[in-house]
Amino acid sequence: MKQYSVDLRERLLGAVDAGLSQAEAARHLGVSTATIERWRRRRRETGAVAPLPRPGRPRRIGSAQEAPLVAQVRASPDATLAEHCARWERAQGVRVSAATMSRSLARVGWPLKKSR
């Protein structure tokens, strides 16, 4: 799920500060009252309402490696995901699963091959 923008957070908190009830603001902008409470607490404690970084480990095939990935797929567009994974491991030294390769190809805009 995407995080709410800083602009929406600031507008909502500004409306609550101006006298609009939390329930009314939540209903009007489509967020829960618990979300408003969390944003108010964060603003009170840190002075900012920007979203926190999402947890998790970095991608196995990151943004910096998109060019080599595209070059690999252009060199052999008929290869299967498993073959691309094996080639990636030989070329980059990083073992990735077929699911990781599929997500990475989708991110760079390479379409899913429908037939063998």
pLDDT tens digits, 33-77: 999 999 999 999 999 999 988 889 999 999 999 999 999 999 998
For position 32, what pLDDT does the model report? 93
Q: Tell me the C-alpha distance between 71 and 96, whole Å.
A: 17
- Give pLDDT, residue 28: 87
Domain boundaries, the chain: 6-46, 63-107
Looking at residue 112, what is its pLDDT?
Answer: 76
Averaged pLDDT for residues 67-95? 94
pTM of the model: 0.59
